[in-house]
Amino acid sequence: MVNVRVNGDRLMTSLMELAAIGVTDGGGVTRLALSDEDRAGRDLLSSWMNEAGLEVRVDDFGNMTGLRAGKTDEPPVLLASHIDTVVKGGKYDGALGVIGALEVIRTLNDNSIETGKPVAVVNWTNEEGARFEPAMQCSGAVAGRFTREYVYNRSDRQGIRFEDELRRIGYLGEESSRPLPASAYLELHIEQGPVLEDAKQAVGVVGGIVGITWIEVTITGQSDHAGPSPMGLRRDPLVAASEIIQGVERIATMEDDIAVATVGRISVEPNVINTIPGKVVFSVDFRHPDGEVLNDQAARLEALVAHVCSERSVTGEVNRFWASEPTPFDPAVVKAIRSTCTSLGVDYGELWSGAGHDAKYMAGICPSGMVFVRSKGGLSHCEEEESSAEDIEAGVNVLLGAALRLASRKR
Ligand SMILES: [Zn+2]
């Protein structure tokens, strides 16, 4: 394996140049999918891809692929992420993976390295789903999870259609330009959580993307006047809910130290200061790498709701209304990333992603993996999002090394 390293200064300069497009007062970025800012970012990226000698193709979802030929014409190793952001997002979420991939290509060029398989940079359209829901839309469409009709007819809050905006910004291309087939898929991303920082590790080798279960719990009791109703005669659904919410935290913490559970939404009826509530509805979000654990947690929640409700003479209903299966990454791709960390002497940790990424859908159609870079304070989707230049450079060096390994791997 050639001992090459990326150019950290050039990498940071390009990241900052892209971050200037849609820059916010607080030093973050607002570059919503298919906005004028997205177009400007794409134009800049496209010019950089051309300068790096890449053939740039745009598909029917606006996904951009810059292909660098290899010794063979086998399917390429894709290095991908996204340049769209949420409102008042950060400089690195998504952009790091795309500019990091570009820096890998520039480094291969500098060192006149001819890879076995071709290597390609991919910029996915609308990963965030902040303007056109849902998230990860265009990797999902390429992976066969969404139809073109579905994607084209998504509209933003102003009622503007995806397809119309894609055409307006000049990035409506051909189906034949989709980045498929692929030999392997690598995505470099900031961690967006505090695990690497807590463990004092610069880079994360990602085992997969956790599964998610969304549950809605409805507790119904008896609404009544707050004054004349003695405590012993009440059927208060909010007090029952509070016990259950404490239990949700216990269900996660008793499992292991990676299970997470969140009650993020609650509504109380009638929500009046001097009235005992009659009905409470709240959400539960369970996340874990193991689907069986998620099933167990949902079952424990059901038992808990039944127990608390019978003790408090209220009724409970548990509705598991949405689930996303855990997505383990390809062992050979994960190994290529881990081996690269070891050979580069990078301080790394192993973790699963608690958030969704385009890699989730790509994992369904080709061997995939992700590299994380430590986030300061674990913050993301905000203007304060930050990673050090040293960690970013280490992450891109890992991306380069893993890409070289995968591009030279025999079929
Ligand atoms: Zn992202």
Distance 345 CA to ligand 1 centre (A): 26
Distance 294 CA to ligand 1 centre (A): 24
- Mean pLDDT, the chain, integer: 97
β-strands 368-373, 203-209: how paired? Answer: antiparallel
Which position has the token pair 């085992």?
A: 207
Query: Tell me, what's the pLDDT at 409?
Result: 78
Distance 193 CA to ligand 1 centre (A): 12
Query: Tell me, what's the pLDDT at 411?
Result: 53
Distance 192 CA to ligand 1 centre (A): 9
Is residue 55's pLDDT more than 70? yes
Distance 342 CA to ligand 1 centre (A): 26
Residue 11, token pair as written in the block: 């990498």
Distance 51 CA to ligand 1 centre (A): 25
Distance 156 CA to ligand 1 centre (A): 19
Query: Tell me, what's the pLDDT at 3?
Result: 76
Distance 54 CA to ligand 1 centre (A): 24
What is the 8-class DSSP label of residue 145? S
Query: Tell me, what's the pLDDT at 1?
Result: 53
Distance 85 CA to ligand 1 centre (A): 8
Query: Ligand 1 being an ion, which residues bring their Cβ within 5 A of it?
Result: 93-94
Distance 44 CA to ligand 1 centre (A): 19
Confidence of residue 223 (pLDDT cuts 50, 70, 90): very high
Distance 82 CA to ligand 1 centre (A): 7
Residue-wise pLDDT tens digits, 19-54:
999 999 999 999 999 999 999 999 999 999 999 999
Residue 403, token pair as written in the block: 């890409």
Residue-wise pLDDT tens digits, 373-408:
999 999 999 999 999 999 999 999 999 999 999 999
Residue-wise pLDDT tens digits, 278-314:
999 999 999 999 999 999 999 999 999 999 999 999 9
Is residue 132's pLDDT more than 90? yes
Distance 79 CA to ligand 1 centre (A): 14
Distance 52 CA to ligand 1 centre (A): 24
Burial class (CB in 10 A: 0-12, 13-18, 19+), 285: middle
Q: What is the dihedral of CA 226, 228, 231, 232, to 10 degrees?
A: -140
Query: Tell me, what's the pLDDT at 202?
Result: 98
Mean pLDDT for the stretch of residues 323-348: 97
Is residue 2's pLDDT more than 80? no
**Quick check: helix, strand or coil at residue 346?**
coil
Mean pLDDT for the stretch of residues 153-160: 97
Distance 356 CA to ligand 1 centre (A): 8
**List of E strands, 239-367:** 260-262, 266-269, 275-276, 279-288, 315-324, 327-328, 348-353
Is residue 265's pLDDT more than 80? yes
Q: Which residues of 37-72 are buried (b: 16+ CB within 10 A; e: fewer)?
A: bbbbbbebbbebbeebebebbbbbbbbbbbbbbbee
Distance 371 CA to ligand 1 centre (A): 12
Residue-wise pLDDT tens digits, 91-130:
999 999 999 999 999 999 999 999 999 999 999 999 999 9
**List of E strands, 325-397:** 327-328, 348-353, 368-373
Distance 47 CA to ligand 1 centre (A): 22
* pTM to 2 decimal places: 0.93
Distance 277 CA to ligand 1 centre (A): 40
Is the Cβ–Cβ distance between 14 and 99 less than 8 Å?
A: yes
* Portion of the chain with pLDDT greater than 90, in percent: 98
